[in-house]
Structure 1
Amino acid sequence: MTLTYLPQELIRKKRDGLVLTDAEITFMVQGITSGQLSDAQLGAFAMVVFQRGMTMAERITLTKQMMHSGKVLSWQKLDLDGPVVDKHSTGGVGDKVSLMLGPIVAACGAYVPMISGRGLGHTGGTLDKFDSIPGYNAYPDEDLFKSLVKRVGCAIIGQTAELAPADQRLYATRDVTATVESIDLITASILSKKLAAGLDALVMDVKTGNGAFAAEMSMAQELSQSISQVATGAGVPTRCLITDMDQVLGRNVGNAVEMAECIDFLLNPTQADPRLLDITIELAAHMLDISGVTGSLDVARDKASAALNKGHAAQVFADMVVGLGGPADLLEKPAHYLPQAPMVKPIVATQAGYVSAMDVRGIGLSLVSLKAGRSKADDAIDYAVGLSDMVQMGDYIEQGQALAVAHVRTDEQLDLVNQQLPSLIQLAPEVPAAQALVKEFYQA
């Protein structure tokens, strides 16, 4: 006989600081998925979890039940000859690491079914960058997705309605009830989607700094510990790296310009931005290490670097793009296919000095105002606009030298960037202290 509960009594129980049982959490998740839990009840549930928190056991149960609220992919019938592993980032400005990382790890013998999201707020989304490629189908059917992962080693797609539907409804509710910043709910949201992909292992890139969701190091630490413990408790070994987001990652920000940077990175790795190269290889090494492809991080770093430098990762990327409907010669002629803004103009410094600080969140929001990102989920995006050739922390800039190159459509947009960008990048007479790119990592 199925045990049933009154949702309001479970909300009251959590409101009073008590622990919900596995059966009670299962009931609530089933109600979220079926619609039997009303919007008002779901909002109240999100708020009491936000205010009262959950134990680690409750988080694990919530995550597992949300993961099983829809389809859970299985790779057993494909008889893969390597582990299935993925990476997720909490988001940043200029964070295009996934675009190169998936192909690098696949070129090393692992399989990467990467289910990614779109940007919202000041951070960019992996899928938006791929949408700048004409013909690229981010929502293939399951058979195509699986066959492409087996044949190529990597496929980067979007979340379908079949994967973790409870999370889709809960996230939409959190977004409008001021309950997004709950470690418990963030953990369950991220992991329910990722674990539904049938992974053997997962690496998390938890960003911290003024351009990150977890702006404070303490929040990044709490989130990393939660994710690593919950995912491992749910049966998927997970390692969390806390990485710096106090400056733009890479040289380009925007959708098509970041895709162009990705292609150049894969084809000319020796010319890549050093920080972008370092974090990509480091995350690849952790993916290869935790999934058992290599026996140590040092060996994994060498393997990932070789896959990149020998062009194997570029070939995986090209094969993936073709397999999902994109042009066969994208790597040879990216400018022919990627949207191009009609105006490409430098934004110059009004004084001289060393780049000592960036308002990374402000830079991201300025791009949202140019329609390179979204302020709400149904906003249309202009894939061509963005910034390229951005200065990096520690660079010395002369007065009149370019801080970045703006890719815009109108004089009004150019004026806006000229007004905003110089105030978002601080120049000082002294070289700033270098910041660690990877600050800490956790594995339960």
Structure 2
Amino acid sequence: MTILLAGLYGLLPLVQYLFLLFSTPFWEAIDAINYFMSVFAFYWILGNVLLGAKLPFLQKLLPYDKAIQWHILASIGILFYIPFHGAIKIFSGYWITASSWILLGLFLGGGILSMVWVRTKLFGFIQDIAHKWNIKALKSYDILKLAHYLFFISLASVMLIHVREAGVIDFVHPVSRVLWYGPYALVMGLWVYSKVRWLFLPKVKIVSIEKKKSLYHIKMEKPKSFRYKAGQFGFYQILKKGFPREVHPFSFLSEPQSDHLEIGVKELGDFTSKISKLVPGDIIRINGSYGAFFPKKNQNICYIGSGIGIVPVVSLLQNELAKDIPVPSLAFLSVQSQEELLYSEEIDELERKSEETRIYKLIYERDKSYFTKEYFEQHIDSPSHYHYYLCSSPLVRKIVIKILNQMGVKNSHIHFENFAF
């Protein structure tokens, strides 16, 4: 993971910049800074396109939640680099080419659409303004997500044209030319491959669908060649009229040895509110598997799942049961109602089967309580000896991490996948 990030976002643009630095007879300090930012912006845009292609082999190098985090950090850098470059050129009296204006328009339009799509603390007011206009497209998660990705594809292409028009490629070393065109061709080729690959992804039928309060338990056929690990997730596209064509991620509820694929879906937004329209026999396309929410060997394990976050934890617990050699572990599950505690009987069976596995369930309708420091202290001996695998909403995660820290647990022993920023 570190090598991938260093190469894609650091080493490659740095080498390119050095070629540019020693091949060019100009340069005042402001020019050096300007071209430094421009070169890095180009490669960071390409990196974001690659991370957005959803290719499983990349996730082996960089888990998907880390890819999202780096995508956001790189985007913040790009938001700074491109305006800086444009301002320097304008105030220096350079002729502004057509590609420059297109680049500026893409940058401003795509940046605004991105902030309408993903709400941030700093620019949340932009989403509020857009929603007041009551334009359907600006409220559609799927449309905004597609526009966001096409924005980066277009931005990378126009930026290469802009670099070519500026004459930068003409006077550099031949290796430098390869470093301009090669990564662009490679990334765009992988993007095309991701689209072609999508056509051949497995399609499965829904076997059963059961609603338990606001949670849907969906069972599907399992393709023979499909592989995943307990704790991972896949991307799903519902091939039924009336559903958006975009894909959505859901964790596997089933364990890998099962004959079926199962997921748990909580009714939370526009897409999940349509799940009630699904019936057995409907077709779903699957892209997976992704994620790194599973323990390493030789660890004392404590799982903590809350709400819909119990789904990957239940998958991990079922996997231990299927292995017939359960790993010593603790598990804490918190849900609103008994109905939302999926596979309750199987979980109880696991606990009966292994004296070294202890599972604690908090059901709010029954216990009138959530996770507290006192609750964990009551059930966890030697808290610092465990590695904690936590799946919950960002708010609950923040509370639990604070509690664990107060109990002497290091952050390096707390593992979670972060998809909310």
- Which TM-score band (shorter chain)? under 0.3
Structure showing greater Rg:
2
Structure having the higher helix fraction is: 2
